[in-house]
Amino acid sequence: MKRVLSNKWSIAVFVLPTVLFFTYIVIIPIFKSFYYSLLSEIPAKVGDESTFVWFKNYIKMFTPGRRNAFPGAVLNSMTYAALSIFVQLPFSLLIALILANGVKGESMYRNIYFIPVVISSVVISLLWQRIYKDLVPAIYDGLGLALPKNGFLGNKDTKLMAVFLPSLWQFVGYHMLLMYGALKSIPSDVIEAATVDGASATRMAFSIQIPMIKPMLKVCLSFSLIGSFKLFDTPWILLERSNMQLPALSMYVEMFSNHKYSYASAQAMFIVFECLAFTALLNLLFRERDDRDLTKGRGRKAA
């Protein structure tokens, strides 16, 4: 087996089917979308009437105007990304640390936090729809408070946050489980040594556990960032139709309601570029960090 896998040709043969399939369903469509995004808007199926307009669709995307919702949509997705990184992930980490340090009923809590991830987003959305439309008004009524005009999902000032909350809540368990797994795989001798040295739980978390699960934190960060830019299902169901307040929603409406295939392709390409750019940025940040840590470590060794 080892001999087979050390032969580059056999590796190529094994990988080839997947590479071909992946190229066909992922790589080629991306390039095709990019090509479409450079064309003028065409009536469906009358293919040869389109002309190259180069980056006109991209310029249109960011031309300010009251009815151009796309720049606002991008900003909204950035807000959501910031909330994921600064609220959702720390919260997940906190739960993971508490669970990994051993509490009574550890596995039960772990499973409970993970339940929302298992449930389909559609169900989650319908659940939260009932929360916003029935439960919250009942609570407000009971407390004698006034609901925002048109309810949380209809009010222009509250609806985005009302939509972000279920998505943030849903994936806490997912990130928690990833981090919990990483925390559990830290060698026990390290933890024991720290305990013998008298490290407090907080000290242990910040000096040992979090630094040791950094690769997993990076994975969580990437998932969370990319997920934010692609966010679609929960807002689509909660905000009803024709809502263009997030990039993926805008792309869908432009494509399937407005039939602006080229313009929608341009928006799709923007989402792809945005995800790639932020993943690259994240890699860069973590690599710099790693390099710095490495040089620090080497310096200490030399001394």
- 32 interacts with other proteins by CB under 8 A: no
Binding of other proteins by 237 (CB under 8 A) = no
CB of 30 to other proteins, least distance (A): 20
Radius of gyration, alpha carbons of the chain: 24
The alpha helices in 214-260, defined as continuous H runs, are 214-230, 233-238, 247-252
211 binds other proteins (CB under 8 A): no
Please give the C-alpha separations between residue 141 and each of 49, 134, 137, 198, in angstroms, as whole numbers: 59, 11, 6, 52
Q: Using the rule CB under 8 A, is 66 a contact of other proteins? A: yes
Contact 228, 77 (CB under 8 A): yes
- Out of 1, 25, 26, 46, the only residue in the binding site for other proteins (CB under 8 A) is 46
CA–CA gap between residue 240 and residue 185 (Å, rounded):
43
Question: Least separation, in Å, of the C-beta of 159 and other proteins?
Answer: 8
- Tell me if 84 sits within 8 A of 168, measured CB to CB: yes
Nearest to 155 by CA among 136, 141, 172, 171: 136
For the segment 133-152, give every residue that binds other proteins (CB under 8 A): 133, 137, 147, 149-152
Shortest distance (Å) from residue 15 CB to other proteins: 32
Among 111, 257, 283, 295, binds other proteins (CB under 8 A): 257
Sole binder of other proteins in the list 13, 20, 156, 292 (CB under 8 A): 156
Q: How many residues does the chain have?
A: 303
Decide: is 253 part of the binding site for other proteins (CB under 8 A): yes
Residue 14 one-letter amino acid:
F
User: Of 132, 174, 180, 236, which one interacts with other proteins (CB under 8 A)?
Assistant: 132
* Binding interface with other proteins (CB under 8 A): 43-46, 66-67, 132-133, 137, 147, 149-156, 159, 240-242, 244, 253-254, 256-260
